[in-house]
């Protein structure tokens, strides 16, 4: 199913899901369509011949443990869960704020640019967002410290889903960098 000119629904499917995967609800499809529409704006602004590869998007609850076993540091509040309910352990720093489950994830995609360096791609997405040409909840450069692999994480626009009060409650920084696989994040201030 085509979501935009350059993005197909299959690019957003969970790891290991069959090519026939479809979202679990109309709400989840809405989240992915909103994300794809904004990614398309960034894709269309890239230099001629450049493309994007989505390496990770929708996650299921069992992906949390799979990623931990790979040495990653997933958060139970990650927007990758795209509306799926995730259990929060009582020892998690998120437990006091959200309780035993989290269901407010809005959808996310990890993207690698092809034909364009990652920092320029990151800066392009931020510029387009700041110029109100597209909207994302978060744009983050992330890196796997073991492999050195880098990507840009895009989260669906929170203003399309939540009130200003809920966005303030969630308190998600707009631009960040993580060099340790999501263990820690530092704020990024665009120049």
State the DSSP string of 109-151.
EEEEEESS-HHHHHHHHHHHHHTTSS-EEEEEEEE-TTT--EE
Q: Which is nearest to 107 in space by CA: 161, 53, 176, 63?
A: 161
Mean pLDDT of the chain: 95
Per-domain boundaries in the chain: 9-187
Query: Which residues lie closer than 8 Å to 64 by C-beta, 6 or more apart?
Result: 74, 76, 86
- What is the per-residue pLDDT across 26-56, written as a single tens digit (0 to 9) for each? 999 999 999 999 999 999 999 999 999 999 9
Which pLDDT score, from 0 to 100, does residue 132 have?
97
Q: How many residues does the chain have?
A: 191
Geometric angle at alpha carbon 90, from 64 and 77, rounded to 5°: 40
Sorting pLDDT into bands at 50, 70 and 90, what band is 66? Answer: confident
Q: What is the mean pLDDT of residues 154-180?
A: 96
Element (H, E) at 36: helix 26-45
């Amino acid at each position: 199913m085509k979501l935009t000119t350059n993005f197909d629904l299959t690019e957003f499917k969970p790891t290991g899901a069959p090519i026939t995967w479809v979202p679990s609800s109309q709400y989840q499809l809405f989240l992915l369509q909103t994300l794809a529409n904004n990614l398309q704006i960034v894709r269309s602004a890239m230099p001629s011949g450049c493309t994007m590869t989505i390496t990770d998007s929708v996650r299921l609850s069992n992906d949390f443990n799979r990623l931990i076993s790979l040495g990653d540091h997933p958060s139970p509040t990650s927007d990758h869960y795209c509306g799926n309910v995730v259990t929060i352990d009582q020892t998690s720093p998120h437990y006091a704020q959200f309780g035993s489950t989290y269901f407010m994830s809005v959808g996310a995609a990890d993207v690698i640019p092809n034909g364009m360096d990652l920092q320029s791609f990151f800066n392009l997405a931020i510029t387009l967002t700041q110029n109100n040409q597209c909207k994302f909840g978060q744009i983050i450069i992330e890196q796997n410290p073991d492999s050195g692999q880098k990507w840009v994480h895009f989260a669906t626009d929170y203003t399309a889903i939540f009130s200003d009060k809920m966005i303030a409650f969630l308190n998600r920084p707009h631009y960040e960098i993580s060099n340790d696989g999501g263990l820690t994040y530092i704020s990024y201030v665009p120049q």
